[in-house]
Amino acid sequence: MSTETDAPAVTGTPRLLLRLEGAALLVLAAFLYPKVSDSWWLFAALVLLPDLSFLGYLAGPRVGAAVYNAAHVTIGPFALAILGFALPAVILDAIALIWLAHIGVDRLLGFGLKYPAGFAFTHLGRIGRSAGPA
């Protein structure tokens, strides 16, 4: 059973590469967004929407981590983009790109997927005051 002190996290060069992947995801999403939408107001209005998943922590760290992770993995926006292309429904593609940009920023800044040990424990290392030097 994982405890708060032994939640695994990637370190070293792999951690740097994952953060650079986040930057690449952000750049790609921002580059593609104007090709599917000219509404930067929509982008600004929705870019922080995935962070409402923090509310899952009101039900405890296990539920919080599951809800947060569901909103911060690329599977959801990729599925939404595929649906948008298949229908076609350009608004779905725009929302998917906004969602991917959000995930990219989070990864770039070191906010990884959460472990049930608590909000501060991510696959990219601890975050917050108790994180220590990166």
pLDDT, tens digit, 9 for 90 and up, residues 38-81: 999 999 999 999 999 999 999 999 999 999 999 999 999 999 99
Q: How confident is the model at residue 128 (pLDDT cuts 50, 70, 90)?
A: confident
Q: Around 37, how many Cα atoms within 13 Å sit in the side-chain half-sphere? A: 20
The CA distance from 67 to 29, in Å, is 23
Q: What is the pLDDT of residue 71?
A: 98
Question: Is pLDDT of 2 > 70?
Answer: no
Q: What is the pLDDT of residue 3?
A: 52
Question: Is pLDDT of 1 > 80?
Answer: no
The CA distance from 90 to 83, in Å, is 10
DSSP state of 113: P
The CA distance from 113 to 124, in Å, is 8
Question: Is pLDDT of 132 > 90?
Answer: no
Cross-strand bridge partners of residue 126 = 121
Nearest to 25 by CA among 91, 95, 79, 99: 99
Q: What is the pLDDT of residue 133?
A: 57
The CA distance from 38 to 28, in Å, is 16
104 three-state secondary structure: helix
Question: Is pLDDT of 131 > 90?
Answer: no
Q: What is the pLDDT of residue 47?
A: 98
pLDDT digits (tens, 9 = 90+) for 84-99: 999 999 999 999 999 9
The CA distance from 106 to 29, in Å, is 13
